[in-house]
Structure 1
Amino acid sequence: MLYGRNTERTRISTLLAEARDHRRSAALLLRGEAGIGKSALLDDAEATLRAAGGTHVLRAVGVEAESNLAYAGLNQLLWHVRDRLGALPAAQAAALRTALDDPGAPTDHRDRFTAGLAVLTLLADLAEDRGPALCLVDDAQWLDGATAQALLFAARRLTADGVVMLFAARDTGFTGTGLPELPLERLGARDAERMLADRDVPRAARARVIRESQGNPLALREFAAAGQRTPSTPDPLPVADRVTAAFRDRIAELPDKTQAMLLIAAAEGRGHLPTLLRAARRFGADLTDLAAAERAGLVDVSGRSVAFRHPLILTAAYQGAVATQRIAVHQAIADIADDPDCRVRHRASAAMVPDEDVAKELEDAAERARNRTGYATASALYRQAAELTPDAQARAARLAAAADLTLQAGNVEEAERLSASADPLLTDPAARARLGRLHATVEFERGDPRAAVRMLVEHAAHAAPDDRTAMLRDAANYAWTSGNAPSVLRIAAASDDPYVRGLAHQVRDEHDRGLPIIADLLARPGDPVRAAQLALILGDDRAVLDLTAAEADRCRRHGLVAALPNVLQTQAHAQIMLGLHADAEASVAEAVALARDTGLDRRAGRLRAALARVAAIEGDEDRLRDLTADAPPPGGGFADSARALLDLALGRHDDALRRLDDIAAGPRRHGTHALLSAADQVEAAVRAGAPDLARPAHERFRAWARASAQPWALAVAARCEALLTDAEEPFKLAADLHERSTRPFEKARTELLYGEWLRRARRRSDARVPLRSAIETFERLRAAPWLDRARAELRATGESAAAPAAPSALDRLTPQELQVVRLAAEGTSSREIAAQLFLSPRTVEYHLYKAYPKLGISSRKELSTLLEPA
């Protein structure tokens, strides 16, 4: 019976009822100290589900001894449903088989987050089959890192699957999950009194037991069961420690061989009875010696397993033994262990001094975990190996490996701490250079690209040739994206890499020399992500979109979740320039969610800043401020350009000109966004009545446009010339070039300016044509301030502006609904869409169900006629 938990039981029962009746999903983390009743609530949740006819319950318990065994928790959770793996999409099935150490698992699916997606799909499939699915995870603070990441990835994507995931964890550990938490408080006096009364504790003794237990349910139960004795510890100790002491006192009263069996079970940790019994022979003990512990209610023995009734009993059994006994037990288990991971864990626990043999075994275990994408686990094993490594250089190398794996697991701060520990131990220059590259990556992720550049340049001088080239290229790229022009030039002086030289020419405004190099590199086969960056520098929007779309598709097909945020960010830039604002919103929303899921929370500000230009075009100053509030470099470059564009849109020409002057003279003047701002600078100067201030900006942009040969850029350069010369021919040239260009917003701006020029020339009839076209585009882009100007100009020609066009039905969709709808319109099945977007099929159907009324349709068949391809 549960006491004092009506509120908690009601909340959990509601989640289960909604999962059953409305196919909703939820995840909840129960948080509280040891003995507070978390496990009892999980048991109650299972009983509630089964009483309602539910059958699908998956359970796992975090085991401290297995916290460094990659996917140990996932194996435990999914053991009884492994036969369902064959029904999963291929990439998910492969990832899960790899995680579960299936001998037949392919070796080319190495993204750890795909295992989490596979868990989500599996849970959703179970829920689809006869009712809701319940996933219960106890002692989550002891889950291995790989399992924790997989389960949290699944939990954050629950929507409409009929799945409930309940986690239970102590007050410390399993933090930063992003899940809603339900803290469990200690029992009040009335509930504690009821509990003791039901256990026939004499009334005279209850007050003391309640006072000593402080309302902790386990303490109440144990102190009452011990005849109202209190443990042999002083009052100031935390209640959990006092309960542990009480268990230790009870264990001390048992026969010596029973105590030995409990120590072996505690050291073994997994509850594997055959291993326990084999080790027990070394100490003259056997299964009969566990009987006294069973009768005392300390352990349960069933089948081939032994389980402590509470983790604090295990702690008491282990801590109650002296060090020599613990070492002897660990060594005995290591000697009889068949599994290499089990063997090395116990050898390490028995090692009191550095031991290279044990350290090497730990390193081998770390590599096994790495090969199964258990990066957090692998890092922990490398750290343990480093602690037992006698040689300073080898210890540093293992610390560096741990740091690299920690970074891959998404923990930037811990990676920096580990690399800082390794740094002073290294004497080999090449090894220090490799570690320096990791330091630089950490600094870049923290949002300090200048520090990253400095580190890469310093360490590249001591690196091996191949490493040196790659490090200088990375340094140049960091310097370029953050607007650090002097560093680009310094790096170019030390590198013969074509990419670096191309960037250096750009910095010197030698566009006719730099852009051909970039174009040549783009034409060569190579890394599609790098190719997309090259196309971005060239201003080739369609190439950027095609490259990122193909790469995103590859990442989705192979489940390469961690690689997607950067790809989607670049894709969003191209989508914005192409006028696909809703698609850009969807790309950024997905990138932000994935960055957070993969532990790269710091990227969120940079990713969101990509939408700053959309907010500027729409004239939404509050949103622009919100999007750029926490944008580190290079996101700040997008933010500066966007703020200047908003000033221009709102008629704040002097403010725009000051901001644009700062960009032109600032460190980011050579970036593609800043170059486009040069065109804005021309318009701002002309409208502010200072055309002479615009001429340098015009020359700079025109030189870049000619070298890039992009039609949109040549059109904008012609528009700038028209503004400065007040002549029609450049406007006509710009209009012609825009017909072959890819940037609708820039085309509409040219049409607006041309219309204004024609009206001033008293050619009102001619002016209406470009103004109508501009209005149509501005309406589609929701470019409110620009639309107001265009309508005012059209009215000035004597024509009333047409009624605003009805908003696009797509504008009513959420970013994720838009992604789902676009894929469904192409004929992609719900299961395929789910695999691509890292959702469950049921969630895909839910999004379609929500989208159809917004689009005014009722079935998939109508989607293909409603939507044009993105």
Structure 2
Amino acid sequence: MLYGRNDEQARISSLLAGARDEGRSGALLLRGEAGIGKSALLDHAAELASGDAGGRVLRVTGIEVESGIAFAGINQLLWPVRDRLAGLPGPQAAALNAALSGSGPSGDLPAARDRFTTGLGVLTLLADLAEDGPVLCLVDDAQWLDGATAEALLFAARRLAAEAVVMLFAARDDAFTGTGLPELPLQRLGRDDAVRFLAEHGLSRDARDRVLHDADGNPLALREFGMAGDRLPDGSRPLPVADRVVARFQSRIDELPEKTRLMLLIAAAEGRGYMPSLLGAAREMGVGLEDLEQAERDGLVEVSGRSIAFRHPLIRAAVYQGAVAACRISVHQALASSSEDADCRARHRASAALGPDEDVAVDLQDAAERARKRTGYVTAARLYQQAADLTPARDAQAARLRAAANMMLQAGRPDEAEHLAARAGTLTDDPAELARLGRVRAVVEYERGNRRTAARMMVEHSAYAEPDDKATMLRTGATYAWTAGETPALLRAAEALPGDAMVGGLAHLAGDDLARGVPLLAALVAEARTSTPEPRATAGLEDAAGLALVLGDDEAALELAAVEAARCRLNGLIGALPGVLRTQAQAQVATGLHADAEATLIEAISLACDTGLPSGDWRLSAVFARVAAVEGDESRLREMPERSDGALGLLELGLGRYDDALRHLESVHHRYSADAMLAVADLVEVAVRAGQPERARAPFDRFRAWADAVQQPWASAIALRCEALVDDSEDAYAQAVRLHEKATRPFEKARTELLYGEWLRRARRRSDARTPLRSAMEVFERLRAKPWLDRARAELRATGESGSASTPTAPVLLDRLTPQELQVVRLAAEGISSREIAAQLFLSRRTVEYHLYKAYPKLGISSRKELSRLTLEPSTT
């Protein structure tokens, strides 16, 4: 019976009922100190779930000594259902098979190198199991899970929706933080509940009061101290409750025979309860299973035919901490010699090491490499760090710490990577090693949003790198420099890497040499579009899509980003996808596909959040900033962490605040890229509207030169619009409108039509003005560009017309859907099955069908057949 846990039991019961009765999924983290009753609540949940018809319970308990074994927890959790892996999508099955097999991935499947594919496989497997009835997944002592398992389980938990799966985690107060899961903190029992808890022990009043005082409401302490009764040691010492419980356990252990204590120590040091290793070490030390008889009777351990388990982790801690160091070392040596598992042998050798030992360090490094090959990057980092601690030579120690730092970068933990790199930097004077450490620090700075600093660091450190490292660092540094507007670093990178088309092309643009830069980049984009990479190739097209955006080639950017996103989805490359989706969303925003862009960005942000990626916020919000500026959503734009002066300038321009717009736009770093050059064109309009046309001439000349170089119809149309503004030329307006008809960028087309309509109305040609103004209104309304729509309506009224444009059917239809519903509906309309959609969007099949179920009534339909007849593609003109 559980005392004082009515609210917690009700919370758990509600989750289970939601899964059983409504197919809802949920996750919850129980948090509290050792002995507070977390495991008891998990047991209670298991009893409830087991009582449901068809319900299934899967369990995993984190084991402290297994925290250095990649996917040890996944093996424990999924081994009973491993026969169901064959039904998973290929990349997910490959990733989970690699996790369960204990070896690296077979073949060259990219998904097996993406650390998040395992988590997706867990989600899909749990959802598949839930087809037969609700599934409860219990994770106890989560603070001791190996990093790879924790990452996979948290990814699955964060993406639960409508699978009838409940995941309950339990962890100590000070660990397993930053999970993103709802938490339920467990408090100590009140006096009345504690008294009821102790009633079964039949204590005297004085003994009961002592136990109540010393246990302080901790259930485990109440039990252990209650068992001691009048024999409870003096509890006046100001120790934490957990320490008092450990002391109580140690006093019980001290009363056991010597051989029993030694056998307990072997079990505590081994930690997993794995009988072959335990018995091998026991034989070597002259003890055996029979020596545990008294400990079994005392309730300290439970022995089965296959394993030995301590009744509570604090008992193991008491056994291990209470032993003298020499005895612990001897036990670890015996365990190392008896272990058949290389990773366990390395762990025990490390625990037995009395000082630096290169031979042991090599064993740990090998274990780290095995973890790396299985995408257990956090585990690999910890093992490399252990190896470094046991490495005698300082340079070799630095190299292993640098390897640990790289693994932390792979795991998305830049702060830990920086700490390891800084420590390594104090151990070596080798220029090449310092260059590699500089690369780590530069990546950390970039992930934090310090792009200029990152670019300078990457390029500067590349000067001392080995040839292969140098080329990679220069290309990365050049990319950082371009995005940050750090022209000196970009030019240095190009000088140090002659012949590289991408770096050279960007450097030429940064150096105002459009004639040489644009053709180099255009050739790379054209080559990417004509190539036919294998669907499972490891090299993506994201760079080429980004270059297409630089050149304003919207069609190429949309195509290349879509192909690369599809490749990532096919291969389960979840970690790479947010960056690809960001590029895709930029192209969608540019071409007026705002609903699609929102769905794309929300998916990218969701994946970045669910995977714990540190790179999501500032880069993704920059794309949202453009949409907010178009829509005139001032509060939303100003709350964004990354709001460029270009977006703020467009906002102020739309709201008619020209002096503020001029200030923002003149401070933009006007790189030769499509986004930056739009700010130049906006500056032309702002200067003219602000009554300062002389400030428009230089930006107009700059934009026209860029438009002539990139030869994109939309850019040429805007150049004509700028000419019309500067020269007050109707002919330029008319040419611009005609050219827009062949171009992408509906927002820019509507702005040109608005300006032309205004010009015609001022020229008293009201009837002629109405046509472009109506067309502009239609686009502004579809894009929700309220300030621009208000201006167009005002101009139309000034021509004597009071009506308003009608809204196109398709956008209204799409506007009824949430972003995720829109994604699912689009794929379903193409005839893709729910299971295939789930694999593409990294969801479960039941969640996909839930979104379809919610979307059908909004669209006025009831089936996939009707869905295929709808027009779901909005116009971009």
- Specify every segment of 5 or more residues in structure 2 that has no aligned partner in the other structure, as ranges: 529-538
User: If the length of structure 1 is used for normalisation, what is the TM-score?
Assistant: 0.96
Match of 2:651, as an amino acid? L
CA contact (8 A) 1:512 1:707 kept: yes
Partner residue of 1:650?
Answer: 655
Answering whether residue 182 of structure 2 is matched by residue 177 of structure 1, we say: no
Is residue 2:555 matched to residue 1:542?
yes
- Aligned-residue identity in percent: 66
Determine the C-alpha separation between the residues in 1 that align with 2:552 and 2:605.
Answer: 24
Which 10-residue stretch deviates more, 267-276 or 102-111?
102-111
Q: Does 1:830 align with 2:843?
A: no
3-state SS, counterpart of residue 138 of structure 2: strand
Q: How does 1:51-62 map to 2 (within 5 A)?
A: 51-62=51-62
Residue 74 of structure 1 corresponds to 74
Kept in 2, the 8 Å contact 1:825–1:867? The answer is: no
Q: What secondary structure does 1:227 align onto? A: helix
Residue 482 of structure 1 contacts residue 668 of structure 1 at CA under 8 Å; is this kept in 2? no
Q: Which letter does structure 2 place at the counterpart of 1:729? A: D
Residue-by-residue CA offset, 1:414-449 (whole Å, 9 max, x unaligned): 000001111122232222212211111111111111
CA distance in 2, matches of 1:527, 1:125: 31
Contact 1:752–1:774 (8 Å) recurs in 2: yes
Aligned partner of 1:846 among 844, 847, 850: 850
492-501 or 349-358, which deviates more: 492-501
CA deviation digits over 1:776-807, x for unaligned, max 9?
11111111111112122222223232365376
Give the letter for the 1:529 counterpart: E
Q: How does 1:165-244 map to 2 (within 5 A)?
A: 165-231=167-233, 235-244=237-246
Paired residues for 1:262-277 under 5 Å: 262-277=264-279
8 Å Cα contact 1:499/1:521 also seen in 2: yes
Report the 3-state secondary structure (helix = DSSP H, G, I; strand = E; otherwise coil) of the residue aligned with 1:858.
coil
Conserved 8 A contact 1:59-1:135: yes
Preserved contact between residue 754 and residue 770 of structure 1 (Cα < 8 Å): yes
Paired residue for 1:530? 543
Match of 1:860 in 2: 864
Query: What SS is found at the alignment partner of 1:610?
Result: helix
Shift of 1:232: 6.4
Task: Give the match's secondary structure for 1:112.
Answer: coil
Superposition deviation, residue 506 in structure 1: 1.6
Partner Cα separation in structure 1 for residue 225 and residue 560 of structure 2: 67
Q: Which moved more, 1:45-54 or 1:361-370?
A: 45-54
Residue in 1 aligned with 2:64?
64
**Alignment partners' CA distance in 2, 1:104 and 1:644:** 52
Q: Which residue of 1 aligns with 2:536?
A: none
Match of 1:551 in 2: 564
| Most deviating of 683-692 and 791-800 | 791-800
Q: SS of 1:254's equivalent?
A: coil
Query: Partners in 1 of 2:870 and 2:372 — Cα distance?
Result: 47
The answer to whether structure 1 residue 19 and structure 2 residue 24 are counterparts is no
Size of the aligned set, in residue pairs, is 858
State whether residues 480 and 671 of structure 1, in contact with CA within 8 Å, keep that contact through their aligned partners in structure 2: no
Counterpart pick for 2:501 among 480, 489, 498: 498
C-alpha RMSD over aligned residues = 1.6
Secondary structure at 2:101 match in 1: coil
Per-residue deviation, 1:51: 2.2
CA distance in 2, matches of 1:821, 1:55: 31
Indicate whether 1:419 and 2:424 are aligned: no
User: How much has 1:621 moved relative to structure 2?
Assistant: 0.7
- Matched-pair contact (CA < 8 Å) for 2:208–2:229: no
- Taking the aligned partners of 2:57 and 2:435, their CA distance within structure 1 comes to 50
Equivalents in 2 of 1:340, 1:441: separation in Å? 33
Native 8 Å contact 2:814 2:872 kept in 1: no
What CA distance in whole angstroms lies between the structure 2 residues aligned with 1:253 and 1:18? Answer: 49
Distance 2:63 2:381 in 1: 18
CA distance in 1, matches of 2:234, 2:606: 51
Q: Which residue of 2 aligns with 1:133?
A: 135
Deviation (angstroms), 1:103: 6.4
Say whether the 8 Å CA contact 1:485–1:668 is kept in structure 2.
no
* 8 Å Cα contact 1:393/1:425 also seen in 2: yes
Asked if residue 588 in structure 1 is aligned to residue 601 in structure 2, the reply is: yes
8 Å contact kept, 2:592–2:746: yes
Q: Residue 36 of structure 1: CA displacement?
A: 0.4
Deviation at 1:844, TM superposition (A): 0.7
Matching residue of 1:570: 583
Q: Match of 1:15, as an amino acid? A: L
1:249–1:102 Cα change, 3 Å = closer
CA contact (8 A) 2:211 2:229 kept: no
The answer to whether the 8 Å contact 1:548/1:570 transfers is yes
For residue 77 of structure 1, what is the amino acid of its counterpart?
A: L
Equivalent residues of 1:822, 1:867 under 8 A apart: no
**For 2:28, what is the secondary structure of its paired residue?**
strand
Is the Cα contact below 8 Å between 1:512 and 1:704 reproduced in 2? no
- 2:532 counterpart residue number: none
CA contact (8 A) 1:653 1:688 kept: yes
TM-score (norm 2): 0.96
Counterparts of 1:60 and 1:658, CA distance in 2: 59
* Post-superposition offset of 1:597: 2.9
How far apart in 2 are the matches of 1:488 and 1:337?
54
Amino acid at match of 1:554: R
Query: What is aligned with 1:472?
Result: 474
The amino acid across from 2:10 in the alignment is T
Deviates more, 1:209-218 or 1:650-659: 650-659
Alignment partner of 1:178: what SS?
coil
- The residue aligned with 2:441 is 439
Separation of aligned partners in 2, 1:723 and 1:416: 51
Gap change, CA 1:703 and 1:832, over 3 Å in 2: same
Shift of 1:766: 2.1
> What residue identity is the alignment partner of 2:869?
T
Q: Which residue identity does 1:114 align to in structure 2?
A: T
Task: Verify the 8 A CA contact 2:113 2:374 in the aligned structure 1.
Answer: yes
1:680 counterpart = 2:682: yes
**Is 1:507 paired with 2:510?**
yes
